[in-house]
Amino acid sequence: MKSQPNQMTNSHILVQDFDFFEPVTIEEAVQLVDKFGDRARVLAGGTDLFVMMKVERISPDVIISLHKISGLDLIQINKNGDVSIGALTTILALRDHPVIKRHYEALSKACHTFSALQVETMGTVGGNICNGSPAADSVPALLVLGAVAEIQGPQGSRGLPLEEFFLGPGLTALKRGEILVSITLPKPSEKMVSDYVKVARIAADLAKASLGITLVRSGNTIVDCRVAAGSVAPTPRRLYQVEEVLVGQTYSQVLVNEAGRLAGEEISPISDARSTSWYRRQVIDVMLRDLLERAWHSAGDAVVSEPDGYVSLPVQDLPSAVESKNYEQGKKHAITLNVNGNSYPVQVYPNELLMNVLREHLSLTGTKYGCGIGECGACTVLIDGVPKFSCLTLAIDAVGKEVTSIEGLQGLNGELDPIQQAFIDHAAFQCGYCTPGIIMALKGLIKDNPHPNEEEVRDALKGNRCRCTGYVSITRAVLAVTGENSQ
Ligand SMILES: Cc1cc2nc3c(=O)[nH]c(=O)nc-3n(C[C@H](O)[C@H](O)[C@H](O)COP(=O)(O)OP(=O)(O)OC[C@H]3O[C@@H](n4cnc5c(N)ncnc54)[C@H](O)[C@@H]3O)c2cc1C
Ligand code: FES
Ligand code: FES
């Protein structure tokens, strides 16, 4: 029997049973999504989907993973200069891509504001959009940048301006059988600058309010300007009245103030756990004034060159899977997991989580259960060297990948990893419960950035809770062995 919606039953496990499909082509995925309709959900990073399932807001009978479809995670420059971003591109890959950083700064900045490193490594831009949350951080940036959603369905493919994609909280324009395949961004116009700002209760939280902006300036005139807001209406949305007041006008403080005042009027916020409607109206006014001023000044300095700096870098290219797979619900399936350099044959149900399989099947209890919904980081492991939440990863989804848990850091003779030793030396090892997850997040950081600075260490830890607030000693310990000055 299913329990009442919104009752937090047990986030330790994924209680619902489902058939799990791994198609290897978009066409196959579309067929499956069409066939199962409302019974099915598509799986990208799972950071929204599995949380929604664990808190029993949704209960799909079928999950269709996009992970085995190659090419869905690429950022490419088209011949006409447009940029195509595959739906499976992770927030982290988008954040750090040189073209996005240089020519679509608002989007890179928006991706930087996500509330956990593990959410950035797992969450995808397609999932962020298709989840339909008013607070989705990538969306205000994509809206001002003129994004078009490329959709594939049983009737073929279609392009839909992102502005028309959102119908209400959790509601999108995707029809039965349709999948978001990619996002197209038009080639940035010369001299266009873009920016993004988010206000949240703490860094590790969804937005109370967010704003994206693009601006083109000529002398003292605002030639073009787009503004879009998140978390202040049932859907992320462009603020057309604000734009109308700004475009073609001479920049002045009076104009900036008027735009801010209008922004507060144009939104339709609600009061919820994160903020009151009143606060959202006040803060959007201030945010808009600040952002406009910032964009105006950087547009003055900007010589945003023709996109000759374009480079088409494959991001985290997926290995091509040769055959599609199907795991039936209620049955155990024989899989092999590669953990800490060893191969383990295990029998799992489709809904078994990596965290539980590590702890209960393999007795690797260093990986901890804290919240089960991506809020604490205690369950962090490395999957192919990347820190991820094992509480939001299916065990069957880890097949063919290299999983590293805290136990895998020990040397052959039992010696500790330098970070583990530094935790002891600098009193960073406190309650012990959250420590393994923290160390795994840090291992992920230094794999790509062997000598991080303090800000980068703190940013990497934003998804890991230390309730005794030992972050100072933790940061000190890491910097002692890896920091800029440790070389
Ligand atoms: C702890 C935590 C912190 C978070 N912080 C933030 C934050 O700061 N900012 C923010 O914006 N979000 C945040 N999120 C929400 C979430 O991580 C993002 O929305 C993320 O981008 C979702 O992507 P995903 O790949 O994990 O989506 P999934 O969970 O895999 O999918 C989300 C939904 O979209 C559907 N879907 C996914 N891809 C497609 C596709 N290509 N076509 C059709 N349907 C599709 C799925 O069926 C599902 O309904 C947070 C989540 C957690 C758990
Ligand atoms: S147990 Fe996975 S993030 Fe808390
Ligand atoms: S080390 Fe666990 S709460 Fe701080």
How far is ligand 1, taken at its centre, from the CA of residue 119, in Å?
9
Asked if residue 47 and residue 163 are part of one domain, the reply reads: no
Residue 314 forms part of a structural domain: no
pLDDT at 315: 43
pLDDT confidence band for 468 (50 / 70 / 90): confident
pLDDT range class, residue 145, cuts 50, 70, 90:
very high
- Domain region containing 123: 75-306
Residue 307: per-residue pLDDT: 47
Closest CA to 478 of 407, 434, 417: 417
Q: Indicate the DSSP class of residue 485.
A: G
Measuring CA to CA, which residue among 142, 41, 12, 51 is closest to residue 374? 51
* pLDDT above 70 for 276: yes
Residues 231, 345 within the same domain: no
pLDDT at position 268: 95
Beta strands in 376-434 (DSSP E): 380-383, 386-389, 402-404
Mutate to test the pocket of ligand 1, among 39, 48, 128 (most ligand atoms within 8 A of CB): 48
Q: pLDDT per residue over 112-128, tens digit each?
A: 999 999 999 999 999 99
Ligand 2 in reach of 353 Cβ (< 6 A): no
Domain-embedded: residue 315: no
CB-based pocket (< 6 A), ligand 1: 41-49, 51, 66, 87, 91, 114-116, 119, 122-124, 126-128, 130-131, 135-137, 174, 179-180, 206, 374-375
Residues making up the chain, counted from first to last: 487
**Residue 242: pLDDT above 50?**
yes
* pLDDT value for 319: 56
Taking only the tens place, the pLDDT of each residue in 33-64 is: 999 999 999 999 999 999 999 998 999 999 99
Q: CATH number of the domain at 467, please.
A: 1.10.150.120
Structural domain count of the chain? 3
Whether residue 182 contacts residue 216, with contact meaning beta carbons closer than 8 Å, is answered with no
Together in a domain, 210 and 273: yes
Q: What is the mean pLDDT of residues 234-244?
A: 98
pLDDT digits (tens, 9 = 90+) for 281-329: 999 999 999 999 999 999 986 554 444 444 444 444 555 567 899 999 9
Cβ(93)–Cβ(73) under 8 Å? yes
In a domain, 336, yes or no: yes
340: left (phi over 0), alpha (psi -120 to 50) or beta: left
Amino acid at 211: L
Residue nearest to atom 12 of ligand 1 (CA): 136
106 shares its domain with 121: yes
Asked whether residue 168 falls in the same domain as residue 274, the answer is yes
Which is the closest atom of ligand 2 to the Cα of 371?
4
CA distance 143 to 214: 10
Q: Dump pLDDT digits (tens) for 444-467.
A: 999 989 999 999 999 999 999 987
For residue 216, pLDDT beyond 90: yes
Residue 178 belongs to some domain of the structure: yes
pLDDT value of residue 291: 98
pLDDT over threshold 50, residue 349: yes
- 287 and 166, same structural domain? yes
Asked whether residue 444 falls in the same domain as residue 397, the answer is no
